[in-house]
Amino acid sequence: MYKINKRLLFLSTVTVICILTATIFLITNTMNASPKRIRSINGWIPYWDQATAITSVKNNPEVFNEISPFWYDATKSGYIKPLNNSEDPQIIKYAQNNKLTLTPLISNEFSSSLISTIVNDPVLMQNHIQNIVNKVITQNYSGIDLDYENVLPSDKEAFTIFVQKLANALHEKNKLLYVTLTSKTTATEHPGQDYKAIGEAADKVRIMAYDYSWSTSSPGPIAPVDWVNNIISYTTSVINPNKIELGIPDYGYNWSGSKGIGIDYLQAINTATRYNIKVTNDPKSGPHYSYSDIKGNHTVWFENKASIQPLLDLVNKYNLNGISIWSLGGEDPKIYTAINAKFPSIVEIARLNK
């Protein structure tokens, strides 16, 4: 009897230790894991300011679940050209260790002719698709973010076929295809991109809802709320909202004469401080101000926490999948407070509903 009890005691002790170990493991991993949010949050990382941009991600680990480094250009031969700082092993490792969806961006540098050449040659198209898939597999990315802009109206069907074939090829390897699209409020705008067909083929689409005013336009807001609302209203009429990430700007322009120079939040604030200028804060249009220097008169429009909050409200209003921020580095750090408030984690929602 004594031996039996001793054996039982031993087994009981082992069981308790196993339970305690498992409990500690689960608690530790829960504490280390980023909270799952009701919205996906991606950050585009520009290769020309990569170190600063990835620091924004690392400083806000509870915010991001996706990152898209701007790493590649397409070429007319169908190859993929790596850009400066591309395929950074530290960023790849960081994304993998923190379970971030990593979809590097490939661009056509706004070249209509480049895309036309690729999509209208079946052999070249297939080679280009295979080159993209090979790159994703070789680097062990989650997928790719396709940013091919200025597609000619005459190439609409061919470009759609290309996107569909690329999606199929990536899906066969259990990889993702995200497609970044030029924003529009009606079907007749930017007719080279078939929103409906692309939305059906891609895993997600990212709508660039910014540059209402741009470097060669008259000074004005970057992403006025009413305009962005019209963009989302149209987009959700042809694409499942659960597939849509709204492109959120965090930059601005400093116009002098007929030319605007791109600036970030910190540059805008520092300039206003240097010239002792009061910033006009308009949440529906964006902060702005004017000043003069030896080069002439300037008008500055940019984005901050106050102007981004209404855009986040639109994401919730239309129940979109999430947001993509263009681009990280130099943004108003308070935007992360707004994101945390507007897009709470599932754990926070459960707690609040108790």
Neighbours of 22 (CB within 10 A): 10
- Residues 176/143, Cβ–Cβ less than 8 Å: yes
Closest CA to 317 of 241, 259, 218: 241
The SS3 of residue 33 is: coil
Which helix (DSSP H) or strand (DSSP E) does residue 281 occupy? none
20: Cβ–Cβ under 8 A, 6 or more apart, which residues? none
Which helix (DSSP H) or strand (DSSP E) does residue 320 occupy? none
Measured over the CA atoms of residue 217, residue 272, residue 287 and residue 46, the dihedral's sign is: positive
Find residue 335's DSSP bridge partners.
none
How many Å is the maximal CA-CA distance in the chain? Answer: 99
Q: 221 φ, ψ to 5°?
A: -65, 155
Report residue 325 as tokens.
Answer: 């921020």
Beta pairing, strands 296-301 & 288-293: antiparallel
> Residue 256: its pLDDT value, please?
96
**CA 209 – CA 246 distance, rounded (Å):** 7
- Is cis: bond before 327, omega within 30 of 0? yes
**CA 342 – CA 282 distance, rounded (Å):** 19
Q: Output DSSP code: residue 103.
A: -
> Residue 353: its pLDDT value, please?
57
> Residue 181: its pLDDT value, please?
98
CATH 3.20.20.80 correct for 38-249+304-352: yes
What is the spatial order of strands in the sheet that 259-264 belongs to? 259-264, 251-256, 296-301, 288-293
332: Cβ–Cβ under 8 A, 6 or more apart, which residues? 250, 265, 303, 304, 305, 308
Length of the chain: 354
Query: In Å, what is the CA distance from 26 to each residue of 12, 18, 31, 32?
Result: 21, 12, 9, 10
Query: In Å, what is the CA distance from 183 to each residue of 51, 73, 190, 209, 275?
Result: 28, 21, 8, 5, 35
pTM as predicted: 0.89
27: Cβ–Cβ under 8 A, 6 or more apart, which residues? none
> Residue 210: its pLDDT value, please?
98
> Residue 134: its pLDDT value, please?
98
Q: Which residue has the tokens 């915010």?
A: 63
- Residues 311/284, Cβ–Cβ less than 8 Å: no
Number of H helices, E strands in the chain: 12, 14
Neighbours of 26 (CB within 10 A): 10
Tens of pLDDT along the chain (354 residues) come to 334 444 444 444 444 444 444 433 333 443 344 557 789 999 999 999 999 999 999 999 999 999 999 999 999 999 999 999 999 999 999 999 999 999 999 999 999 999 999 999 999 999 999 999 999 999 999 999 999 999 999 999 999 999 999 999 999 999 999 999 999 999 999 999 999 999 999 999 999 999 999 999 999 999 999 999 999 999 999 999 999 999 999 999 999 988 999 999 999 999 999 999 999 999 999 999 999 999 999 999 999 999 999 999 999 999 999 999 999 999 999 999 999 999 998 645 544 555
> Residue 345: its pLDDT value, please?
82
